[in-house]
Structure 1
């Protein structure tokens, strides 16, 4: 999904992300219209992965880092069995995040802890759109689910010498015209996935 009405260069993105640990939940910053350029922050198999793409060439920016287990919602034994609790944790796997990309420096906080400090990204990656993604990761998993759940989202342009900080979107404001999504991909690729997996 792409936030189509924003091409801001300097972005702050805060919220919560969840999904199956076996899949990948992704955030793309400064994504070009053709997808040949972006900075990607991904959560995959309980690890943080950061990549950049310039002129179609993909490069890993950071050695993968383990993500501490998120604090789960308290559920009493009367409410759920142990297996149901484990399944709930597997499905949601929620992490609180804050991401800032300003000029060519990237900062990332996970669960209120700074895990990436001023990581340098390629200066050729200029203003672009913000996008959210979800991908199935091949492996020895019981269920090839690849969901992504984003909540408590606020997207803001960062202040600079010419422009003040501006809220571009928050899900606390219920105005459909503020956020327009387009699905990345095609019906054909979706059908191919169904054919391959069922």
Structure 2
């Protein structure tokens, strides 16, 4: 009799364990959003003012440009960073992608290194960097956005008026629900008429 009870208990345990999901989903009323691919291709130029301060850690730089992304549509970008050219390093890069509808995505890179570009395109682009950037929020349809991407940047190191960098960023972004309509960046930029 004890053997029969033990066998039934073992079968019951197996039945309970086999009915469990390996990756249970949270079934509460809060949905935090969906993780999406993030890509952004853009070119920036150096807009640093000639009298920009030089600090102990390097010089303050301002890079601005334009690009395109599935999530953002056409956008402008601005980045500010502390650059240590002698040691091929930078830090405190803070940037913003500005979509045409007024929404924005904020990102930052704590620190990074420039590397000499030894690839096929080394004649046009002498330096590169591929540091991870953190998406730290946004405005409009990107309010509360999180995620990250790699910069995949190539730098043409010409004179100050000829300097530019080409970015091909790839990563992931998590948008808060309620902010995801019109997420491809398209749509009308004409405001609705007021009654």
- Normalization by structure 1: what TM-score? 0.21
TM-score by length of 2: 0.21
Return the index of the structure with the highest Cα Rg.
Answer: 2
Which structure exhibits the higher relative contact order, with contacts defined as CA atoms closer than 8 Å and separated by 6 or more residues? 1
